[in-house]
Amino acid sequence: MKLERMNEQQIRCTITSEDLKARQIKISELAYGTDKARTLFRDMMIAAENELDFEAGDEPLMIEATPINSECIILTVTKVDDPEELDTRFARFAPDLIEDKYDEDISSSDQSLFSGISELADSLFAKGKEKASVDGKPAPPEEAGNIHLVRLFSFGAMADLIALSHVIAADYRGANSIYKDTKKDRYLLLLDQSDMDLMTFNRICNITSEYGESEKNLSATQAYLEEHCECIIASDAVAQLATI
């Protein structure tokens, strides 16, 4: 699953056949709004918030589905300022491509299936950003697809990092390191999702953002940090600071 930020109001998600296969989802289920499809959309929006800082909030969303070929479909998610635009703009899709590329999954009587994504989006986001699966429980790991997140946060003081560590140490089980940007005199905490489920990792990141600042520069990977910053604690930083 590949996410791209197009502008302040829009993101694009490329979903391949491998992504769908990993979740055991047929292309037609995206419009019917099955439990697996809902989980996919929720994971997509959570990943967009984490990776691209794209927050849906309470704004209406338009989701356009464009099949590219038999192996790939693009979902374009747009924040809509005027809710009245939803009725006409939600149903935008490429029927000719659907007819040509997805005859196996979508019959001729179902050519307008993708317009049903509007109802799915409405049910997902009408009450704000829901961060649980349909039954209120976190999505099981086998439905997490291939989404893997790494987040970077900066702090002005080590005391803030210590305070945070005491709060999240019991639940956070991912790889993590602390670096110092000596030029800016800021401490940097790198959090890796590792084998944690997406919902728990997102909750940890939300808590972390209350103590530090989320860094949007995704080029700041561990390799980048090791080259340009001073490594303070190479591994298990959160667990170590929680003992102080």
Which residue type, as a one-letter code, is found at position 38?
R
Which residues does 133 contact at the CB level (< 8 Å), separation at least 6?
A: 35, 38, 39, 42, 139
Q: Give the pLDDT confidence score for residue 165 in this predicted structure.
A: 97
CA angle 198, 217, 240 (to 5 degrees): 60
Give every strand in the sheet of 230-233, ordered side by side.
213-214, 150-155, 186-192, 176-181, 230-233
Amino acid 164: pLDDT: 97
**Reported pTM:** 0.47
| pLDDT (0 to 100) of residue 19 | 84
Average pLDDT of adjacent 10-residue blocks, the chain of 244 residues: 87 86 77 74 86 79 71 80 47 35 36 42 44 44 54 94 96 94 94 87 88 71 83 96 96
CA distance linking residue 73 with residue 106, whole number of Å: 14
206: tokens are 């939300």
Q: Looking at the domain that runs over 150-241, which CATH code has it been given?
A: 3.30.70.1950
Q: From CA 68, how far away is CA 14, in angstroms rounded?
A: 10
Supply the pLDDT for residue 211.
94
- At residue 197, the pLDDT reads 84
- CA quadruple 214, 217, 221, 224: dihedral sign: negative
Determine the pLDDT at residue 126: 46
Confidence at residue 96, expressed as pLDDT on a 0 to 100 scale:
36
Q: By CB neighbour count within 10 A (0-12 exposed, 13-18 middle, 19+ buried), where does 44 fall?
A: buried
Q: What is the dihedral of CA 123, 125, 130, 134, to 10 degrees?
A: 20
Model pLDDT, residue 187: 97
Which residues of the chain are in CATH 3.30.70.1950 domains? 150-241
